[in-house]
């Protein structure tokens, strides 16, 4: 065993002189001791406070004993599904099983159960009836209230009730987990720990909390979807640690679910302390024979510089998990990490990323946020940037320049998303100049998501004209420095509010781009986003106005196929979509058309675009039979019949 890793077996505990661990951490990912993995951060933070932590990574949930390999912890079990919601990890938006899992050895997809947090917690409860169980991580955080579950198409109860756990530490969790540990260590019963920010607990008695907001009961949510929309809007407006109220969700038979306001954001010093902990930045040696963990290959030489996001995209869960207040690491902390990379024998001189949820957010949106919190009645960037927004890239530019100048560093890339509307809001173009000159690897990935303004409005994204303005600037500065670099857009299909006509508008834009986007995401209704609430309820929870929601499988397929209309495999469905929308003008041979018409042959075959459908019999291998026969009609050319005649002759010989 490498003594720098936390114990994963009784043998490890003995080697470390530990008779009983304070906490046992059960996780759905493989054990990777890197600060890009949430369990690594939480376990190291606890260790820095003097607590012992052991790791049970991806236990066999079909075997009760798998949860007992480290014995009963002194203070409690910690449970997380890992870096991803287990259902998103396992299933595509079409609810088809994924074949790989980047967080498991050799990319295996069978190393964790569906709804991992619930399964692991119930597994613990089966053996350890009274040991405290604390849930954390993205899956528990986003399912802390009653929530719409896309995979079962049901409104589910809080995961705290279904799991049998005692408390949820939601959000990033560093503050909350230390306070929970200290409370348990001081002898406070887990059921009496009701006072910690960033936690959710359950109680039989209605708590008397000043200014608490009562949400509709779970039973009321089941009766009327509009009640869920109202409830979610209240939740969404109370994610701020400064202004957020205590929220109470009643359950007829289980009592009350209580969410305390969010934990305070980390200061820069606290962020530095978290990322300066003694991570090995490696997979545990036990995976050497099982295969590599693909996820670490992606982030091994990337640097986290911030967390939190005030972008406010409606389809993103960051507001509900990390919050809107941006927290940053110091230059010194980041440079220290980068220098450590340069000493790694595998480092080739390239820092793959310096960012976070949004790379170019290196400060809170405005000065007010650190004292009074984020506004509850408006967004920082949507529908237009707030007048109080401080759009300034100086700090980020200075940081990037320092990293570029480090010995052994050849290139520093920015691969996290940037907000192009935030870039344009800056009073000068210094950032986009440096971005073009130093930090793009040929292609810049940006996320306009759509081109229809009515769809962008439901997404919480800037209007299409803003993206076009950014593209012009990006092109201008590329030309100025003599580079041929391209902006590669991410688009999303089937978002609430998107009609078939909107999808066609996007397809026409793709046509005019001149290339087909490789990355297309069909809207995925994951728990606790505004867009998911729209999908489930059919209304915008912010306004309670009805919106169109494409739920039909066929229409969703049409919207997605339209974005990639050049793909021959999509011809039939694109043809059907255009016919359904009455857009026959886009079927033809003009340059503005998306696809060519179907061509009927005497044999009954159908040509799909430039490719003959494989479902029909082909009249000939030649694509231009009709043209060639017409050209040679006067000379009575019969060459096309030769293969058929030869075949007939061969058959005669066989009979003889």
pTM greater than the 0.85 cutoff: yes
Beta strands in 430-535 (DSSP E): 443-449, 486-493, 520-522
pLDDT at 3: 54
Res 626 pLDDT > 70: no
Strands 545-546 and 213-214: unpaired
User: What is the per-residue burial (b if ≥16 Cβ within 10 Å, else e) of 368-398?
Assistant: ebbeebbbeeebbbbeebbeebebbbeebbe
For residue 251, being part of any structural domain is answered with no
* Residues 532, 535, 538, 543, CA torsion sign: positive
For residue 16, being part of any structural domain is answered with yes
For residue 126, being part of any structural domain is answered with yes
Dump pLDDT digits (tens) for 534-568: 999 999 999 999 999 999 999 999 999 999 999 99
Tell me how far apart the alpha carbons of residues 304 and 444 are, in angstroms, rounded to a whole number.
19
331-342 and 394-404 are packed helices; what angle lies between their axes, rounded to 10 degrees?
A: 20
pLDDT at 653: 41
pLDDT at 370: 85
Tell me how far apart the alpha carbons of residues 162 and 490 are, in angstroms, rounded to a whole number.
36
3-class secondary-structure state, position 258:
strand
CA dihedral 470, 472, 476, 478 (to 10 degrees): 70
The token pair that represents 521 in the structure block: 């995401």
- Count of structural domains within the chain: 1
Return the higher-pLDDT residue of 520 and 268.
268
For residue 68, being part of any structural domain is answered with yes
Dump pLDDT digits (tens) for 210-234: 999 999 999 999 999 999 999 999 9
pLDDT at 644: 38
C-alpha triplet 122, 528, 119: angle, nearest 5°:
10
Dump pLDDT digits (tens) for 141-164: 999 999 999 999 999 999 999 999
Tell me how far apart the alpha carbons of residues 265 and 267 are, in angstroms, rounded to a whole number.
6
For residue 125, being part of any structural domain is answered with yes
Dump pLDDT digits (tens) for 234-262: 999 999 999 999 999 999 999 999 999 99
Residue 86 maps to which CATH number?
A: 3.40.50.2300
Res 195 pLDDT > 50: yes
Dump pLDDT digits (tens) for 627-653: 444 444 343 333 333 333 334 434 434
pLDDT at 371: 87
Out of 207-211, 388-392, 397-401, 606-610, least confident range:
606-610
Q: Which residues pair with 493 in a beta bridge?
A: 522
Mean pLDDT, rounded, for 157-172: 97
Tell me how far apart the alpha carbons of residues 44 and 593 are, in angstroms, rounded to a whole number.
58
Res 1 pLDDT > 70: no
For residue 18, being part of any structural domain is answered with yes
Would you place residue 310 in the very low, low, confident or very high pLDDT band (cuts 50, 70, 90)?
Answer: very high
What is the residue-averaged pLDDT of the chain?
91
For residue 102, being part of any structural domain is answered with yes
By percentage, how much of the chain surpasses pLDDT 70? Answer: 91
Tell me how far apart the alpha carbons of residues 123 and 65 are, in angstroms, rounded to a whole number.
9
pLDDT at 642: 34
Strands 539-540 and 545-546: antiparallel
Residue 509 CB contacts under 8 Å (≥ 6 apart), including other chains = 451
Mean pLDDT, rounded, for 107-130: 97
pLDDT at 623: 39
Range of the domain at 77: 10-201
For residue 528, being part of any structural domain is answered with no
């Amino acid at each position: 065993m490498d003594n720098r890793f936390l114990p994963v077996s009784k043998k490890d505990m003995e080697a470390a002189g530990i008779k009983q661990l304070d906490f046992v951490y059960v996780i759905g990912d493989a054990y990777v001791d890197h600060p890009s993995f949430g369990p690594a951060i939480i376990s190291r933070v606890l260790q820095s406070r003097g607590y012992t932590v052991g790791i049970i990574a991806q236990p066999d949930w079909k075997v009760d004993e798998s949860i007992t390999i480290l014995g009963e912890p002194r203070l409690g079990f910690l449970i997380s599904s890992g870096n991803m919601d287990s259902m998103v990890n396992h299933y595509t938006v079409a609810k088809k099983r994924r074949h790989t899992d980047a967080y498991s050895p050799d990319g295996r997809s069978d190393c964790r159960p569906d709804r991992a947090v619930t399964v692991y917690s119930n597994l613990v409860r089966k053996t350890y009836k009274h040991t405290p169980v604390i849930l954390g991580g993205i899956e528990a955080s986003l399912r802390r209230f009653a929530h719409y579950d896309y995979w079962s198409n049901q409104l589910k109860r809080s995961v705290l009730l279904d799991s049998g756990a005692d408390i949820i530490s939601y959000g990033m969790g560093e503050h909350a987990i230390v306070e929970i540990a200290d409370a348990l260590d001081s002898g406070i019963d887990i059921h009496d720990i009701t006072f910690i920010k960033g936690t959710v607990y359950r109680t039989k008695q209605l708590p008397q909390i000043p200014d608490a907001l009562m949400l509709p009961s779970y039973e009321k949510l089941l009766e009327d979807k509009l009640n869920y929309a109202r409830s979610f809007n209240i939740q969404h407006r109370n994610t701020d640690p400064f202004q957020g109220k205590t929220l109470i969700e009643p359950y007829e038979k289980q009592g009350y679910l209580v969410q305390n306001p969010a934990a305070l954001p980390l200061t820069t010093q606290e962020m530095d302390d978290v990322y300066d902990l003694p991570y090995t930045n490696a997979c545990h040696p036990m995976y050497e024979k099982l295969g590599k963990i693909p996820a670490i290959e992606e982030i091994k030489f990337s640097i986290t510089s911030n967390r939190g996001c005030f972008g406010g995209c409606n389809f993103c869960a960051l507001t509900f998990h990390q919050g809107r207040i941006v927290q940053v690491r110091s230059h010194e902390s980041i440079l220290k990490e980068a220098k450590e990379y340069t000493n790694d024998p595998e480092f080739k001189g390239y820092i793959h990323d310096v960012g976070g949820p949004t790379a170019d957010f290196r400060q809170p949106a405005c000065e007010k946020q650190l004292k009074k919190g984020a506004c509850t009645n408006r967004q920082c960037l949507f529908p237009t940037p707030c007048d109080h927004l401080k759009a300034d890239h100086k700090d980020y530019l200075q940081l990037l320049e320092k990293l570029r100048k480090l010995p052994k560093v050849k290139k520093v890339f920015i691969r996290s998303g940037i907000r192009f509307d935030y870039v344009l809001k800056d009073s000068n173009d210094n950032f986009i100049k440096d971005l073009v000159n130093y930090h793009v690897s040929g292609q810049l990935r940006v996320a306009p998501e759509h081109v229809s303004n009515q769809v962008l409005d439901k997404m919480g994204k800037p209007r299409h004209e803003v993206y076009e303005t950014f593209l012009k600037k990006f092109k201008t500065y590329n030309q100025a420095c003599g580079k041929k670099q391209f902006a590669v857009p991410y688009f999303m299909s089937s978002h609430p509010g998107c009609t078939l006509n909107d999808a066609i508008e996007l397809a026409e834009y793709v046509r005019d781009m001149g290339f087909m986007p490789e990355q297309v995401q069909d809207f995925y209704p994951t728990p606790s986003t505004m867009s998911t609430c729209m999908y489930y309820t059919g209304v915008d929870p912010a306004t309670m106005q009805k919106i169109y929601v494409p739920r039909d499988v066929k229409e969703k397929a049409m919207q997605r196929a339209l974005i990639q209309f050049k793909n021959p495999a999509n011809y039939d469905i694109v043809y059907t979509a255009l016919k359904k929308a009455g857009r026959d003008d886009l079927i033809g041979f003009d340059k503005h058309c998306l696809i060519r018409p179907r061509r009927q042959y005497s044999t009954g075959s159908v040509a799909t675009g430039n490719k003959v459908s494989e479902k029909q019999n082909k009249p000939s291998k030649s694509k231009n039979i009709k043209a060639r026969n017409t050209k040679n009609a006067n000379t009575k050319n019969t060459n096309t019949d030769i293969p058929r005649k030869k075949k007939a002759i061969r058959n005669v010989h066989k009979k003889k």
